[in-house]
Structure 1
Amino acid sequence: MSLICPHCQRRYRPGHDRCSADDTTLVADPMVGRVLGGREIREFVGGGAMGMVFKAYYPPLDRFEAVKLMHARLAQMNRSAVDRFHREARIVANLRNPHVVQVYDTGADEDGHLFICMELIKGEPLSDVIERLGCLSPARVVRLMTQVCDALAEAHDRGVVHRDLKPDNLILETDRHGEDVLRVLDFGIAHDAEALQKTETGVQIGTPVYMAPEQVRGDHDAVNGRTDIYALGVIAYTMLTGDNPFLGRGLLDVLQKQLSFNPPRVDSVMPAVSPAFAALIAQMMAKPPAERPADMDAVRAALRALHETDE
C-alpha cells in the first residue's frame, strides 16, 4: 500500500516507514481506494513537476492503468485552457503509434483537479538508462531517435507539440525479441500547463536543459514541431556523450546557454560518431528554428540514410 508523510505530504511506495525529509512516521495514503474516472487507485508510482502517477484498476476491462493526477495549481487554468487539455488528450488518444503511450480518458475530480488515464507500462526511463550506462552506441541512438520521430511526426501532423520532451518522458521497453522499444509520455500536458507556469515563474514550461531558445524567450508563437526537434537533438547529444551540453551553475546560466552557447560537435567529443550524424544533431540544435530540419519526417529520413550507410 502507498504511504504518505502527514507532515510534508511526500508520497512513498511500499517498503518505507519514515519520511526521508523529516523522519516522520508514514501513514496510509488517502488516495488509495479513491475512484477517478471509474479507476480505483491502488498505489503511488511516482511524481513530477506537473502531477502524481498512480497505478489503478479499471474493472470494466479488468486491467491496470496509470492515472496521472495533476497538481492543484493546474486546476486554476482558465476554461479555454482546460478545454484544450481535454481536446489534445483526445487527439493523442486517437494516435495508433506503437511509440506513443496510449491515453484512455481524461477528467476532473470533485475539487477540479485534472487527471488523465493512460496505459500502464513497465519500462525504464531513458534518463535512468543513460545514468546506468553512461552513453549509448551511435547505432542504438539512431534506432531510438527514429522511434521518437515516428511518434512525434504523427502527433505534429495532428497539431500537437510535446514541448517538454526529455529522457524522463521517454520510456524504454524490450519486445519479445529483445529489441528496444521507446515510448513517448505526456503529450498534450505541457502545452496546457504553459500559461499558468509562465505566470508563476516567468519562464515557459519545459525542462531547462532541453528547452529550445524560443521557449526560453517566451515566444509562444514560435513554438512548433521544430521546438521538439531541438529537444530531440539535445537528447541525442546526451545519449551519445552521457552529458547534457547545457548543464550550468544554475537556472540562469542554463537558460543563457540555451540562448547563446553552441556545443562542440558531438564527433569532436565522441570520435565513434560519424560526421554526418554529428552534422544532423548540430542542425537539430540550431538556435534559429528556421535552420533546423523542417519537420520530424526530415529528421527521420536523415536517420534512415545514416542507418543504410552504416549497413
Structure 2
Amino acid sequence: MGALLGGLLGAVFGASPAVPRSAPSASASATVISSLTPPRADVLLDVKPGPAGEVTLLPTVLGKGGFGRVVEGLYQGQPVAVKLILDMSLDTWGLPADAATATATPAQGAKTCGRLASDDEVAAKRNLGDADTGMEEDMNEEKDNRAAAGGDGVDAAARARECSAGSGPKPGPHACGEDRGVVKPHGGGRGAGVGMPAAEAGQAGVMGFVVAQLAQEVAVLSRCHHPNIVNLLAACLTPPRLCLVMERCETSLDKLLYGRPGQLLPMEQVVSVALDVARGLEYLHPTIVHRDLKPGNVLVNHPGGPDMVAKLADFGFSRLRNTVAVATANPEVGTPEFMAPELYALTNTIVTNKVDVYSFGVLLWAMLSGKRPWEGMPMVVIAVRVTMNRERPAMSDVPADRRLRKLEHLVRQCWDSVPERRPAAAELVKALLLVQEQMARRAG
C-alpha cells in the first residue's frame, strides 16, 4: 500500500436528436499513422503574427489553462482557436496580457482545442509539478519521439535555454519537429544549464518541458486527417511565440454534460458522440495512444443538430509509435478519474491502446449518467478503489430508462481489469452501430 501511494505522489494527474450519419471513408479509416507518415503539407509549421504570417489574434480569451490561454484568431480569413503557451507570448503576438481579458460567454458556444475547463487547468498544473520534480521519459522513448517527429535531434530544453539566454533558436525544421519528453529541470537534468542560477535553470527546464509537450502534439496532429480528430492548421514552436492554430469548435462534451444542470444528453446524442469518439480511436489505434480521453477533450460541432460531430482533441500526452505497446518511464500520466488500473501499477512500464478503451468506458458512463466519475475524490483514493478494490463507477447512477443492455455490457467490457480482454476500437464502432440501429427501429 505504501509503495502504491509513494508511486502515486509522483504521478501526473434539450436539443433535437442527432440523425445517424454515414461512416468516414474507408480510406480514412484504413490509414495507419506511424513515424513514417509524413506531416500534412497543408500544416504551416512556422506561423507568425500579422496578415503576412497568416494568423491574426483577436482580443477575446476563450479560456485559460495551466500553461497559457486560448484566444480567438483569424487564419486565412477563417475563425480559429489559437492555443498560446505561457502568457508572456501574448506580447510577442501584439496582444498585451493585461488587455486580453475579455472572455467568451457560454452562450457563444466557445470551446477550443486547449485545456479550458477547471479540471483541465488542475491537470496542467500537476503536469508542471511533474516537470519540477524531475521525472524523465526513458532514453529509448526520447529517441523514438525525435525520429517520429522527423526532428534533427535538437533537445527541446537546449532550445529553451537559448531562448532564456536571449538568442532564441534558429528557425528551421527542428522548430516544430520534435516529440514531447518530460524535462528534468533540477539536479543536473537536461533542463538545468551548467552554471545557471537555480531560478533561471528551473525556468529553462519548465520551458523545455512545455516546448516538448507542444511538439508532441504537433507531431501527432500534423499527421492526422480524420473527421473525428480536431484539425491542426498551423503551429510555431519557436519560443516565445509558442502556439497551435486549431479549427474552432462550438462547444465541448464537458459543457454539454455538466453545463446544463438537470438536463441529460438525449440518448440519440449519447450514441452519436460515442460513435464519433470510437471512430476517432479506431483511426488512431494501434500506433497512437491518446492517454487523456475525457469529456473536456472531446469537442463538438453543431450540437443537437443533424450534422452534430464530435472530435478528439488535446494530444499533449499522446504517443506516436510503430508498435502496439509503448514503453515509458511515466505510464501514469492522464486524468485520474479516467485512467486505467494498470497505469497505477508501480511495476508497469507499458502503455497500450487499451488504456484509451478503459477511458472510453468511463466516458460512456458519464454520458449515460450525467455525473462526474469519482467526483471529489483525490487521486490516491481513486487508485485504491480502481486497482485494489476493483471498483468502477456505479451503473446504478444511470437512470433505468437509459440502461440499454448492449450499452451497459459494452461499458463493463471496457472496464475489464485485464487490458487484453477489453474490446478494440473497431469493436466499439460495431457495437455502437448495432445500438444505433436498434434505437432507430424502436423510434420508427
Tell me if both proteins adopt one fold, taking TM over 0.5 as the criterion. yes
* Correspondence for 1:174: 302
Gap change, CA 1:306 and 1:64, over 3 Å in 2: closer
Shift in Å, 1:275: 1.7
* Correspondence for 1:186: 314
| Aligned 8 A contact 2:374 2:393 in 1 | no
Equivalent residues in 2 for 1:185-224, closer than 5 Å:
185-187=313-315, 189-191=316-318, 204-217=332-345, 221-224=349-352
Equivalent residues in 2 for 1:22-101, closer than 5 Å:
35=49, 39-43=55-59, 44-49=61-66, 51-58=68-75, 61-71=76-86, 83-85=178-180, 86=215, 89-101=218-230
SS at match of 1:42: strand
Cα deviation digits, residues 10-61 of structure 1 (max 9, x gap): xxxxxxxxxxxxxxxxxxxxxxxx8397533323221234542122233xx2
2:257 is the counterpart of 1:130: yes
Gap change, CA 1:136 and 1:177, over 3 Å in 2: closer
Which amino acid is the alignment partner of residue 65 of structure 1? V
SS at match of 2:314: coil
* Correspondence for 1:275: 405
* Correspondence for 1:152: 281
How far apart, in 1, do the equivalents of 2:230 and 2:78 lie? 16
2:415 is the counterpart of 1:285: yes
Which amino acid is the alignment partner of residue 191 of structure 1? S
| Aligned 8 A contact 2:217 2:314 in 1 | no
SS at match of 1:53: strand
**Which of the pair is proportionally richer in strand?**
1
How far apart, in 2, do the equivalents of 1:162 and 1:57 lie? 28
How far apart, in 2, do the equivalents of 1:151 and 1:226 lie? 14
Give TM-score, length-normalised by structure 2. Answer: 0.52
SS at match of 1:243: coil
Cα deviation digits, residues 81-134 of structure 1 (max 9, x gap): 6512446624423433222110123322334x743221122x221111111154
Shift in Å, 1:251: 2.6
* Correspondence for 1:105: 234
Structural RMSD (CA): 3.4
Give TM-score, length-normalised by structure 1. Answer: 0.72
Q: Which structure carries more relative contact order (alpha carbon 8 Å, separation 6+)?
A: 2
How far apart, in 2, do the equivalents of 1:206 and 1:214 lie? 13
- Structure 1: state its 5+ residue gaps: 1-33, 193-197
* Correspondence for 2:200: none
How far apart, in 2, do the equivalents of 1:177 and 1:277 lie? 23
Shift in Å, 1:265: 6.2
How far apart, in 2, do the equivalents of 1:48 and 1:210 lie? 19
* Correspondence for 2:381: 253
Aligned length: 264
Shift in Å, 1:249: 3.3
How far apart, in 2, do the equivalents of 1:218 and 1:107 lie? 36
Which amino acid is the alignment partner of residue 425 of structure 2? M
How far apart, in 1, do the equivalents of 2:68 and 2:414 lie? 30
Shift in Å, 1:138: 3.5
Name the % identity: 23
Shift in Å, 1:164: 0.7
SS at match of 1:152: helix
Shift in Å, 1:266: 2.8
How far apart, in 2, do the equivalents of 1:40 and 1:139 lie? 38
SS at match of 1:127: helix
